[in-house]
Amino acid sequence: MTLPSSAVLQALKKSASSMAIRDTPFIYNEWYVAAFAHEVGRDFLARILLGKRVVLFRTETGQAVALADRCAHRAYPLSLGKLEGDTIVCGYHGFRFNTDGNCVEVPSSSKCPKELGVARYKVAERGPLIWIWMGDPALADAAKIIQYPWHRDPAWAYKGKCTTINAHYQLLYDNLMDLSHVGYVHKNTIGGEPEAHSNAQMKTTRTADGVHVIRWLLDSTPPPTYSAMFDFKGRVDRWIEIEFSPGAVRLYTGAKDAGAGAYEGNRDGGLGLRTLHAITPSTPDSTYYFWSIARNVKLDNQDIHEKVFRQIEATFHEDKLILESQHQRLKQRPDPLVDIAADAGAVQARRVITERIKEEAAVRSPSIS
């Protein structure tokens, strides 16, 4: 279903954005990135994911494990205890838990009470990412983790990072779904001409599990980041594809010499970029932001590799400042926002999230409470 921007606007103005950020809960029945694979090892990693404290570690054979980070006995954080083999020993009274979260030893007692245990969350490792499912365990299906082949494709080189944004996760989606901010916020890095962004052709489509937006900046000046990677002849045709599904935004962008056929369908011989934005709500006021940037050119050039990463890092730091100011302002005075045509994608994404949360509330299983 393709939605003409103006119709979207008219229809959604009242419903979507009047949802104050503080009222937005989380979707639980979804796979989220919990950590980069290299962050999880034999030392405990403690994170707050979807409002719950989680301790992550690897077994002796390297399997990633995620448990509730709170001893069942006296609520002491398990992440302050120690790992012995594949069991966690609580630092307060020595209670021992296995990787299923079951209590297997109470030092002061000859047996463990049956009910004594902590939640274990399913995790799935995919390339450099560890995904977690914190919803109803019966619904966890690792086959539904979104595809992101570019992390393991030899034709692409990538580098990523985990950042904390002290803002509500919805604001991150808003930011990514409406890229008309790029010309203003990122004018010194990936920006290019503000006018080109603002006048870009945009098509917003609802997909099976999310929203797809495609924007074309035809015959525009390539931004500094692009020129650093690729030798364009002059002006370029530039594309920005945004693929949203709850938990992540995938950006497929790139550029090719103007008029060289990209718009007609042939992007070969151009610069291609893939940016993953995995967005994992931590608290209502903070969000883990796992991102990576992959490119299909100059794979072995370490200078370019580092430079592209640094520029994207600087770019996303610009977003971080914006989002945190905006979050503070909205907390002080959660008045409704106003949507315009360029927000069509953001409005659709909010609608997807709202629907999913409503669905979950209707059939809430006790295991996710």
**Are 194 and 184 a contacting pair, CB within 8 Å?**
yes
Among 37, 106, 139, 314, indicate the residue that binds its own copies (CB under 8 A). Answer: 106
Tell the smallest beta-carbon distance from residue 116 to its own copies (Å).
6
User: Least distance from C-beta 328 to its own copies, angstroms?
Assistant: 9
Residues 203 and 213: their CA atoms lie apart, in Å, by 6
Residue from 72, 134, 242, 249 binding its own copies (CB under 8 A)? 72
Q: Which is nearer to its own copies, 52 or 161 (CB)?
A: 52
| Residue type for position 336 | P
The nearer residue to its own copies, 11 or 299, going by C-beta atoms, is: 11
Cα(27)–Cα(136) distance, integer angstroms: 11
Q: Are 5 and 344 in contact (CB under 8 A)?
A: yes
CB of 248 vs its own copies, minimal distance in Å: 22
The reply to whether 4 sits near its own copies by the rule CB under 8 A is no
Q: Which of residues 190-249 bind its own copies (CB under 8 A)?
A: 194-195, 197-200
* Count of CB atoms situated within 10 Å of the CB of 134: 26
Estimate the crossing angle of helix 344-362 against helix 5-12, to 10 degrees: 50
Strand partners of residue 84: 87
Matching residue, tokens 């106003």: 338
- Minimum Å gap between C-beta 355 and its own copies is 22
Site for its own copies in 140-199 (CB under 8 A): 174, 178, 180-181, 183-185, 194-195, 197-199
Nearer to its own copies, 167 or 276 (CB): 167
In this chain, which of 47, 58, 70, 305 binds its own copies, going by CB under 8 A? 70
Q: In angstroms, what is the minimal distance from the CB of 201 to its own copies?
A: 11
Query: Whole-number minimum distance, CB 66 to its own copies, in Å?
Result: 17
Strand partners, 33: 131
Name the minimum Å distance from CB 188 to its own copies. 13
Work out whether 53 is an interface residue with its own copies (CB under 8 A).
yes
Of the pair 186, 274, the CB lying nearest its own copies is at: 186
Residues 307-346, mask of contacts with its own copies (x by CB under 8 A): ---------------x--xx--xx-xx-x-xx-xxx----
CB of 107 to its own copies, least distance (A): 4
**String of contacts with its own copies for each residue 8-37, x by CB under 8 A:** ------------------------------
By CB under 8 A, name the one of 115, 231, 264, 300 that touches its own copies: 115
What's the Rg (C-alpha) of the chain?
23
* 291 CB-contact burial (10 Å; exposed 0-12 / middle 13-18 / buried 19+): buried
Amino acid at the residue 208 = A
- Using CB under 8 A as the binding rule, whether residue 77 contacts its own copies is answered as yes
**C-beta closer to its own copies: residue 135 or 345:** 345
Q: Which two tokens stand for residue 295?
A: 């490119």
Supply the minimum distance, in Å, between the C-beta of residue 13 and its own copies. 9
Say how far apart CA 247 and CA 145 lie, in whole Å.
10
Total residues at the site for its own copies (CB under 8 A)? 49
Contact call for residues 134 and 368 (beta carbons, < 8 A): yes
Q: Least distance to its own copies from the beta carbon of 55, Å?
A: 12
For the stretch 325-341, what's the b/e string if a residue is b when 16 or more beta carbons lie within 10 angstroms of its beta carbon?
ebbeebeeeeeebebee
Distance CA 279, CA 19 (A): 19
- Sign of torsion, CA 326 359 123 88? positive
Sheet holding 211-220, edge to edge: 2-3, 201-206, 211-220, 236-245, 248-257, 271-283, 286-295, 157-165
Binding footprint of its own copies on the chain (CB under 8 A) = 52-53, 70, 72-77, 80, 89-94, 106-109, 113, 115-116, 174, 178, 180-181, 183-185, 194-195, 197-200, 322, 325-326, 329-330, 332-333, 335, 337-338, 340-342
